[in-house]
Chain A
Amino acid sequence: MIQSLFLASLFAPFSLMVLLGLSFLMRIPMYERWLSFTVKYFSLAMAGMGFTLWGLVWFHSPSEVLLHYGSWIKVGEYSFDLPFIVDLLGATYSLLTSCLIGIIFRFSRNYLHREEGYFRFTFLLTVLWFGLNIVSFARSLDLLFVGWELVGTTSVLLISYFYTQVQPVRHALKAIVSYRLCDMGILAAAAWSHHYLHSTDFVALPKLLHHDHGGSALIFIGIFVIFASLAKAGQLPMSSWLPTAMEGPTPSSAIFYGALSVHLGPFLLIRFHDYIDNFPSLLIAIGVIGGTSAIWATLVGRTRSDAKTMLGFATITQVGIMWIEIALGYTNFAMFHMVAHASLRTWQFLRSMSLIHDFFENPTVKQDVSIRRDLSFLKLLPEGARKKIYVHALHSFHLDFFTSRVIRGVSFPMKVIFAVEKKMMVWDNKVLARLLRKN
């Protein structure tokens, strides 16, 4: 039962994605009404399946079901296997996905009505859905990477939903660079664990670890995984893309940066928790990254005055706290936190349009709303210090400045190489010229 439900929840979004994609490629006209009709019943079915699966897993013992569907390709000793795990974490994330995407579908049916990009939007959401379900249930890094990439790509494509304007495209570029950089982490982790442990199976890895094949090199798998999760979760130092990613239609900002994409960071860490647990230094690193990100983001977010950017920073803050929870070993708590947070932020994003009137109608907002919001421990600081913190927070504590310094630092050796090459070409020509003259 679990197995068939799992298969269904994996294949249903896939088939919808293929169906929509093919109909587009074959230029079959897709009327908005048909599309919204299809999507409506589809999400209903998916949510039903999600609940059932979750319930079954909850009462199932042992709490995880391991599935294996052979391998896709084999090259020598290496084989790309298709192993899945259906456990509470995966079922929860999949259920969250189904519910929230269902809500977003319903929301965007009216929100994007008569919009040219309605089809594109819907299609990209089905891709997201499929990608997230792969990530939820994948049992190996190789397989997880497939879903991980799909999510990243759709995210970038939806940031640049209004691709005729400059700003969305620039910010999409920023996002994709951050994503790709961190995606290397997954690839590196996969390569590393293939090399030393001959497997990338989440369940098998911690057990293999105890047989100790690679010595100190094994910690790098953990480091890479942590690095990989930075960009999606918007944790430091990969944070600066997230607040600027709010360029697409509101529902897409809600689903990606309030809910589903941004929580993949903690999700990956929970998946890998059994492995990372063996290295206290990694746990400390996670805690430190999460803690700094949370403090950084909450301070910066307090100075932001637009609804969506503010929510972006608030999200980074809470995800940072989730990292601390994971570092402390409270993975179930972090999971609950994740679900609660995703729902809350989605709703806050969707409702962000009402803010002006909410404030205006609020009987306590008169001419002195400042009294209420200044209730903060920072009031204890002297005024000069508060001003200082405010100004630096306004500039995100110069994250972009430091990032550009790092980029310049990285690009320095490249520049040296180019300069030397240029010089050598000049010499070459001179030598050549001299030779020619001699002849």
Chain B
Amino acid sequence: MTSSTDFNKLLTGIRARLPIQNPLHSFVHNNILQMFENLDFHDAVKEAGELYRAKTYWPVEKYKECFAKKKISEVDIMEALNHYMGYNHELPFLPLLGITKKDFFYRLMFSELNFNDDEVQPELDDERLWMHCREKVRNENLVLSRSPVRWRAKAYWEKHHNILYSSSIHPLVTRLIGSYLDQGQSFWGNPFSQEGFWKFVAYDLEQTDNFLSGWQKVFAKKMKEGAGKDPGNIILNELKEMNIPEEKWESYLLDILFDLKGWAGMVNKLELEPWQATVKAPKIQLAEYLAVVLLIESSVDSYFSTTHSLDINLIRGRKEEIKLSGFQLSLGLYQIAKAMKLDERWVQKLKVSDALALIDGVDAAEAHHNIRLWHEAFEHHYHREAIQTLMSRKENEVKPPEMAAQVFFCIDDREESIRRHMEEVDPRLKTYGVVGFFGIDMKFSTYKHDRLIAQCPPVVVPSRIVTEVALDTERGSFLRRIYNFLGITDLAFYYQSRTMFRGLLTTLILGTLSVVPMFFQIFFPERARNMKSNIFGLFSSDLKTEILIEKTDAIHGYDVKEMAGIVKSVFDMCGIRHQFAPLIVLLAHGSSSNNNPFRQAYGCGACGGNAGIPNSRGFAKMANDPRVREVLTGMGLSIPENTVIISGFHDTCTDEISFFDLEKVSDEKKSMLNDISKSFTEALRRNALERCQRFSLTEAHTDADVAKDHVLERALDPAQPRPEYGHSKNALAIVAKRDLTKGLFLNRRAFLHSYDWELDPEGKTLASVVLGGVPVAVNINMDYYFSLVDNENFGCGSKLPLNLTALLGVMTGSQGDLRIGLARQMVEIHEPIRNMTIIEAPLERVQNLFESNKRLSNILHQHWMRLVVFDPTNGKWFQYGHRSWIELQSENLAVKTVKSSLEALTMVHTNDFLEIRS
């Protein structure tokens, strides 16, 4: 047996379980449990829940509350049960109860079994039954079979010897790894950053040897022994010495790493993908970090077992027995009989051994199934309502007026509302949803900054490099110098103000001056922004820039043919072949917020969390290019000469729309744009009003102007922990013609992809639409899901005490773990519902697509998402269940109708679906 291959296997297994969050400067929405996607959703979250020490669903009371509020109905429960039956559950004790599996689950959901909880006072109404139960198992004892075996001594030390890892051991690790991974936040870089973490720690202990005490001495000794050895060998040797059985190695090491899971994940990330670092990744290896924490663990164990004269081998591998006494057993039997609606005669007939097996089994089943069932029912309620609304929606007979413009939006759920408002305000506007990078997979740099930023979905590897240049090169380079100078000043100020003598000087000079920006930003955020832009406007306001997207010798862009391909694919997705409006407006989106470490989580997911401006500008440039249009005509897509494509930007936080590159647009078109801009403005006002409902603002409920000011202030305020609610509440992804959803109020909960099945007989466009959009939607959905259900362990807790660390992430308070996931203030209004994707296309086409793509088929088969297909060829609806397609029947649900979206706003808190009919 070679130890290195052994170790590599072990390490690969560990890597696959560590958190995968990026540094905060880049896009963070990933399915936190992406590494678990090969397991069924429920099983995966169970495993992950143990690893993350986290809850993986809402607390059961919350679901029951929904049931009481009719947000879960009896029908949902039955449907959820039916769906749940598809899983293969083994319930060996079922014959003892004499009821069907479904009945058992149903009754389980409404039972209150708390017999293994000492703190709850049991209710015993039925005295006869209680007597019999008491009689039956009075003298028995039972150790539940789900009692855990623990290989780590940590819990033992904490429980019996008051040794707190979080205060005596973790600060050392945090300080070492924090300073090692630092990207430039501290004034001194770590002098060992290119020599390896192991060397750094070894040197550190060697130097500070005189000041160590307790377990640290043992640790230092172990480190000395390990000098010069391979970390893999050290780990394997240590594990053998610790007498951990080989099959437990992985879980044992993971358990240690998950004490500080954020740091472990970051170490792993920076080792595997060093380009993700904010500035520069140090030389770091997970193996070295793992060796260090493992040695600490074993030092702590051996130190405390010596001082307390304990045999450590008895602590490792101890079974923590969950033991039920005679009273608890009788209570258990009583509660089971009650819950399953059985009487004392049944109890009488029961054998004692059967009774014990039953209690053990039901206890495990309750822990395992109860909450899953409730969760399924809760999801089902929303999903059913969504499907039924779409099914029973009636076609609008009013013939639309002639198109004034076609407006392309991102598929983002936040754009659902503004699209709806636009169509209501101005029926001459037609809206489409395409993935917001418009098919341009590029790395992009501005004229101010050389840094290349990936402007495409995180699942795509950018293939091109595109830059922005100033048209007036002289002024461009002048401005560049100014920005450079400002950058230097900024950095100098940052570092120097924290030192001693230079700090004194900076303090004296800038100290009192700092009151000015502080005062204005906090009291008058809007004025502060205006002042800032006025100052910068003095020299840069009228600077025109251009995006160099065409392939030349110097630029790694697209050639004309590729451009035509990109343009065509976008028009194909939208189903536009012949009907062109004179104006086509591309609205990329982004979100501005101030003083917000999670800014990237609010941006355009399809552009890697950045604003999509370069993509929309690039696309407009391509599509307006006569050469591209010529090629397009050859490909069967002739854009009339009269049609102009204009790039624009929608800021989802401030609710502002701006346009770019209007110099070449003719005056006639400009006046047309002005005309529709009025509709845009009105739509934006209404959108702001709708968003204010989510913030629960009473004063902004009715007045759109107040609402507009309010959302702007939110975006600019440095004190605002909730500039917007991001993707909160997202639950649907609809891939269909707009006709399917037009006139429906979806409460900003749906990703809307445009797809015209009629133009795509081969299913190629469908593939690009679904592959570009659905995985991102699922990732976002799962990120919100987990950050919501356990904000402390999957998310990063409250935003208030966060502390930026090493330019990589945040800690809570002054020291501790690097936090993962989203903050409580970002997800607090979310509801844990898995993504349901609804596709309007022939069933077979969808099936082929999902079978051909590995990740898609995985997340579908393992229930990380739900899939519904509306087959327009026969008008039937299908839902994917357990490896089979079930045809859905319309229940002719009466969807509430309202006159307009504005009217709907009074009902947003109670209704997710409304039909709008004027």
Residues of A within 8 A of B719 (CB): 106-111, 251, 350
Q: Shortest distance in angstroms between B872's beta carbon and chain A's nearest beta carbon?
A: 45
Residues of B within 8 A of A367 (CB): 279-280
Does B519 count as interface, using CB distance less than 8 angstroms?
Answer: yes
B residues 455-484 with Cβ under 8 Å of A? 480, 483-484
Selected contact of B495 from candidates A246, A372, A404, CB within 8 Å:
A372
Task: Verify A355–B807 contact, CB threshold 8 A.
Answer: yes
Residues of A within 8 A of B581 (CB): none
A112 to B825, CA, bound (A): 10
A365 to B814, CA, bound (A): 26
A432 to B651, CA, bound (A): 87
Residues of B within 8 A of A183 (CB): none
A311-B498, A340-B508 are contacts. A395–B804 as well, Cβ < 8 Å? no
Task: Verify B497–A307 contact, CB threshold 8 A.
Answer: no
A429 to B514, CA, bound (A): 72
A429 to B487, CA, bound (A): 78
A306-B805, A306-B806, A370-B189 are contacts. A318–B507 as well, Cβ < 8 Å? yes
Residues of A within 8 A of B450 (CB): 363, 366
A395 to B200, CA, bound (A): 13
Selected contact of B188 from candidates A99, A350, A390, CB within 8 Å:
A390
Q: Shortest distance in angstroms between B637's beta carbon and chain A's nearest beta carbon?
A: 39
A305-B806, A341-B507, A390-B188 are contacts. A401–B204 as well, Cβ < 8 Å? no
Q: Shortest distance in angstroms between A196's beta carbon and chain B's nearest beta carbon?
A: 38
Selected contact of A392 from candidates B189, B190, B207, CB within 8 Å:
B207
Task: Verify B595–A353 contact, CB threshold 8 A.
Answer: yes
A393 to B816, CA, bound (A): 19
A247-B813, A306-B806, A351-B718 are contacts. A369–B183 as well, Cβ < 8 Å? yes
Residues of A within 8 A of B204 (CB): 391, 394-395
A301 to B185, CA, bound (A): 11
Task: Verify A247–B490 contact, CB threshold 8 A.
Answer: no
Nearest opposing residue in chain B for A314, CB measure: B498
Q: Shortest distance in angstroms between B508's beta carbon and chain A's nearest beta carbon?
A: 6
Task: Verify B185–A391 contact, CB threshold 8 A.
Answer: no
Selected contact of A352 from candidates B164, B187, B515, B804, CB within 8 Å:
B804
Residues of B within 8 A of A161 (CB): 801
Does B499 count as interface, using CB distance less than 8 angstroms?
Answer: yes
A162 to B599, CA, bound (A): 25
Task: Verify A359–B279 contact, CB threshold 8 A.
Answer: yes
Q: Shortest distance in angstroms between B394's beta carbon and chain A's nearest beta carbon?
A: 40
Task: Verify B178–A305 contact, CB threshold 8 A.
Answer: yes
**Interface mask (A281-315 → B, CB under 8 Å = 1, otherwise 0):** 00000000000001100100111111111111110
Does A170 count as interface, using CB distance less than 8 angstroms?
Answer: yes
From A62-70, A219-227, A381-389, A414-422, give the one contacting chain B.
A381-389
Residues of B within 8 A of A340 (CB): 507-508, 510-512
Residues of B within 8 A of A249 (CB): 800-801
Task: Verify A359–B814 contact, CB threshold 8 A.
Answer: no
How many B residues are at the interface, by size bracket?
Answer: 35 or more
Task: Verify B504–A392 contact, CB threshold 8 A.
Answer: no
A310-B498, A321-B500 are contacts. A373–B191 as well, Cβ < 8 Å? no
**Interface mask (B30-68 → A, CB under 8 Å = 1, otherwise 0):** 000000000000000000000000000000000000000
Residues of A within 8 A of B451 (CB): 360, 363, 366
Task: Verify B806–A387 contact, CB threshold 8 A.
Answer: no
Residues of A within 8 A of B815 (CB): 167, 244, 306, 309
A167-B813, A305-B182, A372-B491 are contacts. A354–B595 as well, Cβ < 8 Å? yes
Selected contact of A306 from candidates B178, B448, B498, B508, CB within 8 Å:
B178
Residues of A within 8 A of B515 (CB): 99, 343, 347
Task: Verify B518–A353 contact, CB threshold 8 A.
Answer: no
Residues of B within 8 A of A348 (CB): 497, 514
A367 to B480, CA, bound (A): 18
Task: Verify A115–B599 contact, CB threshold 8 A.
Answer: no
Instruction: Please indicate which of the listed interface residues B181, B213, B522, B811 has the most CB atoms of chain A within 10 Å of its own CB.
Output: B522
Does B803 count as interface, using CB distance less than 8 angstroms?
Answer: yes
Q: Shortest distance in angstroms between A429's beta carbon and chain B's nearest beta carbon?
A: 26
Top 5 A-B residue pairs of the complex, sorted by shortest distance between their CB atoms: A340-B511, A305-B182, A249-B800, A364-B487, A369-B184
Sample of 19 A–B contacts (CB below 8 Å): A110-B719, A113-B721, A115-B800, A167-B812, A250-B800, A294-B500, A303-B186, A306-B803, A309-B814, A339-B512, A340-B510, A353-B802, A360-B25, A360-B278, A362-B491, A369-B279, A370-B189, A373-B184, A374-B188
Identify the A interface with B (CB < 8 A). 99, 103, 106-113, 115, 161-162, 166-168, 170-171, 243-251, 294-295, 298, 301-314, 317-318, 321, 336-337, 339-341, 343-344, 346-348, 350-370, 372-374, 376, 383, 386-388, 390-395, 398, 401, 404
Given contacts A167-B167, A307-B803, 14 further A-B contacts (CB under 8 A): A110-B717, A162-B798, A314-B497, A340-B510, A343-B514, A344-B514, A347-B518, A354-B595, A359-B183, A361-B449, A363-B449, A364-B484, A373-B184, A374-B188
Identify the B interface with A (CB < 8 A). 23-25, 164, 166-167, 175-176, 178-179, 181-192, 203-204, 207-208, 211, 213, 278-280, 448-451, 480, 483-484, 487-488, 490-492, 494-495, 497-500, 503-504, 506-508, 510-512, 514-515, 517-519, 522-523, 594-597, 599, 717-722, 798, 800-808, 811-816
